[in-house]
Amino acid sequence: MLKLLRKFEKMSPEIVFEWKDRELGAEGWLVLNSLRGGAAGGGTRMRKGLSKQEVVSLAKTMEVKFTVSGPAIGGAKSGINFDPMDPRKNDVLKRWYKAVMPLLKSYYGTGGDMNVDEIADVIPITESYGLWHPQEGIVTGFFHPNEAEKVHKIGQLRLGVSKVIEDKEFTPDIRAKYTVADLITGYGVAESIKHFYALWQKDITGKRAIIQGWGNVGSAVGYYLAKSGVRIVGIMDINGVVINEAGFTLDAIEAFYTKGLQSDQTIEFNVGNDMIWDVETDIFVPCAGSRLVQIDQLEKLVKNGLELISCGANVPFTDKEIFFGKTLAYADNHVAVIPDFIANCGMARVFAFLMNGVKEITDDTIFKDTSDTIYNALARIRKVHTSDRHITKKALEIAISQLVN
């Protein structure tokens, strides 16, 4: 596995587009690792200090993700080095999308990512430049549709991604009008945890969980897990930390979801972040930024009963290697680790599902398809690998063999 992995990591990306914003000094990169299948896909992220190498690694991660979610295309990622809290963020995004528009029309599809929202940012800006949908390039490059087919596929994408969730089974507050894009990634991560316990014949009832990051993904994971009977014992976020070793009630988690972590229970981040790693937990879900989880933090969690990590964030461990460094190796050796390209593939899967021309677009069909896709990926591993250790190593072996060979 490691030999295949290193070979894949060392392959130069097929296309690297570099951009410099002359007005504000922002810089951006669009990395297309390959045009496998005639197209490539991956979201747009923005953060201060982002580097070209980070974008390269995320593009490769997306290519691996597509072996699970489909379609069989190359991985890509857009990254912009700029402070997303700057009020001129939208102007930077407008200039970025104008620069990459020819690729978006031909063979590249994008969406939201860290600090860039699919519904609020990506779709309005790209539509203003005449793009029917941010995934239009994949529809064109991979499916080669005639005009009627293209209209139908993009119509499905426009309807499904922005669909307001109406089934109370899938939303913490039906009145809030959350969309599929708001919840599907976190839902998939929660489903990966439920499927792990089912496939490896363990009982999820009463398990304890700590969640790192309380944005769109982490908060949705917390809600769906609490609804499944998992006890959320700790949540850490840059805005604060909450800990309850008995587990927060579902009502409390719903309140955190809708109102944020600010309450009389909130501990200042620098204090709470030192405390939370000593809390006893069975499940750890990193959903914050990439390359944040350190080996000493994992050692504390393992000592306190950790048995499963499900990666809501892309590349959550502090390794210089793109996929498999010593921190991830430590985790994979000591606990079950569901890798990011399986656990958080929900949004990529929704795009693939809608492009394939589904007969009926409902909350149930969309969410069930994502759940089934994640189940099938884990079941494929379970069929050839009975141990609950080295799950990520086996998952990478299965995925990379499809790309390198």
Whether 223 is covered by a domain: the verdict is yes
Token pair 């620098």 is found at 270
> Residue 1: what pLDDT?
74
The mean pLDDT value for 316-322 works out to: 91
> Residue 266: what pLDDT?
93
Both tokens assigned to 209 = 């969980």
pLDDT above 80: residue 298: yes
Q: Which of 144, 161, 183 is the last residue of a domain?
A: 144
Both tokens assigned to 53 = 């190498």
Pairing of strands 15-20, 27-32: antiparallel
pLDDT above 90: residue 343: yes
The band of 308, judged by pLDDT with boundaries at 50, 70 and 90, is very high
The band of 392, judged by pLDDT with boundaries at 50, 70 and 90, is very high
Q: Are residues 212 and 276 in the same domain?
A: yes
The least confident of 13-17, 54-58, 125-129, 282-286 is 54-58
Cα maximum dimension of the chain: 59
Both tokens assigned to 261 = 């972590």
Whether 348 is covered by a domain: the verdict is yes
* CATH of residue 27: 3.40.50.10860
Q: Are residues 24 and 103 in the same domain?
A: yes
Q: Which of 144, 161, 188 is the last residue of a domain?
A: 144
Cα distances (angstroms) measured from residue 64 to each of 138, 197, 279, 389, 404: 16, 24, 33, 20, 11
pLDDT above 90: residue 290: no
> Residue 264: what pLDDT?
81
Find out whether 115 and 45 touch, Cβ atoms under 8 Å: yes
Token pair 């030999």 is found at 3
Q: Are residues 290 and 392 in the same domain?
A: yes
> Residue 360: what pLDDT?
86
pLDDT above 90: residue 265: no
Of residues 73 and 315, which shows the higher confidence score?
73
The mean pLDDT value for 230-248 works out to: 96
Find out whether 202 and 308 touch, Cβ atoms under 8 Å: no
Give the N- to C-terminal CA distance of the chain in Å, as an integer. Answer: 12
> Residue 138: what pLDDT?
98
Tell me the pLDDT tens digit for each residue of 137-151: 999 999 999 999 999
The band of 286, judged by pLDDT with boundaries at 50, 70 and 90, is very high
Q: Which of 144, 159, 190 is the last residue of a domain?
A: 144
pLDDT above 80: residue 221: yes
> Residue 359: what pLDDT?
78
Q: Are residues 114 and 214 in the same domain?
A: no
Both tokens assigned to 255 = 């309140």
C-alpha to C-alpha distance for 88 and 191, rounded to whole angstroms: 37
Find out whether 120 and 111 touch, Cβ atoms under 8 Å: no
Whether 153 is covered by a domain: the verdict is no
Both tokens assigned to 66 = 């597509």
Whether 1 is covered by a domain: the verdict is no
C-alpha to C-alpha distance for 284 and 299, rounded to whole angstroms: 12
Q: Are residues 203 and 260 in the same domain?
A: yes
Q: Are residues 225 and 350 in the same domain?
A: yes
C-alpha to C-alpha distance for 41 and 350, rounded to whole angstroms: 13
Whether 335 is covered by a domain: the verdict is yes
Find out whether 67 and 137 touch, Cβ atoms under 8 Å: no
> Residue 404: what pLDDT?
86
Q: Are residues 238 and 134 in the same domain?
A: no
The mean pLDDT value for 212-218 works out to: 95
The mean pLDDT value for 106-129 works out to: 95
The mean pLDDT value for 219-242 works out to: 96
Q: Are residues 381 and 251 in the same domain?
A: yes
What domain range includes position 266?
A: 174-402
Helix axes 363-384, 52-69, angle to 10 degrees: 90
The mean pLDDT value for 77-88 works out to: 98
pLDDT above 90: residue 347: yes
> Residue 163: what pLDDT?
95
Mean pLDDT in the chain?
A: 95
C-alpha to C-alpha distance for 189 and 310, rounded to whole angstroms: 7
Find out whether 35 and 81 touch, Cβ atoms under 8 Å: no
Whether 365 is covered by a domain: the verdict is yes
Q: Are residues 217 and 328 in the same domain?
A: yes
The total number of structural domains in the chain stands at 2
pLDDT above 90: residue 63: yes
Q: Are residues 71 and 128 in the same domain?
A: yes
Q: Are residues 276 and 137 in the same domain?
A: no
pLDDT above 80: residue 85: yes
C-alpha to C-alpha distance for 70 and 67, rounded to whole angstroms: 6
Whether 162 is covered by a domain: the verdict is no
Q: What are phi and psi of 344, to 5 degrees?
A: -110, 30
Whether 219 is covered by a domain: the verdict is yes
pLDDT above 80: residue 405: no
Percent residues over pLDDT 70 in the chain: 100
> C-alpha angle 109/217/254, rounded to 5°?
140
Return the closest-CA partner of residue 73 out of 36, 98, 114.
36
Predicted model pTM: 0.93
Neighbour tally for 2: CB within 10 Å = 14
The mean pLDDT value for 195-221 works out to: 95
Q: Are residues 25 and 137 in the same domain?
A: yes
pLDDT above 90: residue 275: yes
